[in-house]
Amino acid sequence: MHEIMKSRRSVRKYTDEPVTDAAIRELLEAARSAPSGHNLQPWRFVVVRDEHTRQQLAACNHNQMFMADAPVHIVVAAYPRLKEDETIPFVDEASPEHGVKQGIRDGAIAATYILLQAETMGLGACWCGWHTQEEVRAVLHIPEGLYVVGIIPIGHPAETPEPRPRKELDELVHWEMWGE
């Protein structure tokens, strides 16, 4: 697992080789096995193979057209956590509710599992999140109560990117107490 985590890169160039449905299923099974608060599993996935739809998703991610070159996108969306008497609220980038954050948190774990599973399978993937809820929902007909956590284009890699820099542990970690 350490090797997989170390070797994973955001891959933005893909060959023409298709990703089989069996491979897509393996990626989804990995996501399904992710942990979530109260085991609510609030994530939902839209698998997009259609080229025109992939182009639309790339366009509403600030025209990052490399996305459309990947033969499949997995779109990860999540329901906010609701109290018993609550109905599903409208959620977007400005939603302050705690339950929305919980949904996003859990969806992010599922997306991470997909990235790691892709790496174990020799596939290249890149989490893309430069979209608005409104635009992605409109393309995929996703209901307003789900938050689109990320779009993950996946394909066979046509590049081997160098590692991107990471902060030193000293900058990130406090031992026992903040400031220590």
Ligand X SMILES: Cc1cc2nc3c(=O)[nH]c(=O)nc-3n(C[C@H](O)[C@H](O)[C@H](O)COP(=O)(O)O)c2cc1C
Residue 13, interface with ligand X (CB under 6 A)? no
The mark string for 53-82 relative to ligand X (x by CB under 6 A, - otherwise) is --------x--x------------------
Residue 129, interface with ligand X (CB under 6 A)? yes
Residue 117, interface with ligand X (CB under 6 A)? no
Least distance (Å) from ligand X to the CB of residue 101? 14
19-39 exposure pattern, b = at least 16 Cβ within 10 A, e = fewer = beeebbebbbebbeebebeee
Residue 4, interface with ligand X (CB under 6 A)? no
Q: Is 53 or 127 the residue whose CB approaches ligand X more closely? A: 127
Q: Select the residue whose beta carbon is closest to ligand X and give its number.
A: 129
How far is CA 151 from its chain centroid?
5
Which residue is listed with tokens 């596939």?
123
* Angle CA 7–115–120, to nearest 5: 55
Residue 10, interface with ligand X (CB under 6 A)? yes
The conformation of residue 10, written as its DSSP 8-state character, comes to B
The answer to whether residues 57 and 75 touch, using CB atoms and an 8 Å cutoff, is: yes
Number of residues engaging ligand X in binding (CB under 6 A): 13
Q: Is 122 or 179 the residue whose CB approaches ligand X more closely? A: 122
* Helix and strand numbers, DSSP H then E, in the chain: 7, 4
Which residues bind to ligand X, rule: CB under 6 A?
9-10, 12, 61, 64, 126-130, 150, 161, 164
